[in-house]
Amino acid sequence: MPTDRPTAAELVSAVKQHLQDNVVPVMEGQPAFHLRVAINALAIVERTMADGETMNRAELERLRVLLGEDGNLIDLNRRLSAQIEAGEMGEQKDTLLTHLRRTALDKLQLANPRYLIPRD
């Protein structure tokens, strides 16, 4: 990966900040909504660039342990889905639920960390 500055993460952050600080205040209506959607997408990209690979590695390791197999993330998720659909995960219910909860929490953390804040 190139080591030049600005990094890809810095560029994404700068674009997002520029849009928030300089463009959002002068927009209204549907274009303002679309701009907020774009800013949220950039925030997802930022979080994914920062934490996505770590989350993927952790998910892959959980899948390897759960299935007792090696493979890539996509293939192991397909195998897990097939085993769940076939009713073959009953004996590993607790481990399966722990894995699914952790994976869901990681995906929510990337999509929008505010989803994880308890509400009254």
* Domain assignment of residue 86, given as a range: 8-112
Q: What is the pLDDT of residues 66-83, one digit of tens each?
A: 999 999 999 999 999 999
State the amino acid at position 7 in one-letter form: T
Of the candidates 96, 106, 92, 21, which has an alpha carbon nearest to the alpha carbon of residue 58?
106
> Which residues lie below 8 Å from residue 88, measured CB to CB, with a gap of 6+?
none
Is 88 a member of any domain? yes
Residue 23: both structure tokens together: 């463009």
Is 119 a member of any domain? no
Q: Kindly tell me if the per-residue pLDDT of 119 is higher than 90.
A: no
Is 3 a member of any domain? no
Measured over all CA atoms, what is the biggest interatomic distance in the chain, rounded to whole angstroms? Answer: 58
Pairwise CA distance, residues 75 & 63, whole Å:
10
Is 14 a member of any domain? yes
Is 118 a member of any domain? no
Residue-by-residue DSSP string for 70-103: ---HHHHHHHHHHHHHTT--GGGHHHHHHHHHHH
**pLDDT score, position 4:** 87
Is 2 a member of any domain? no
Is 63 a member of any domain? yes
Pairwise CA distance, residues 12 & 49, whole Å:
10
Q: What is the DSSP letter of 33?
A: H
Q: The whole model's pTM is what?
A: 0.84
> What is the total count of domains within the chain?
1
Main-chain phi, psi angles of 29, to 5 degrees:
70, -155
Is 1 a member of any domain? no
Q: What is the pLDDT of residues 96-107, one digit of tens each?
A: 999 999 999 999
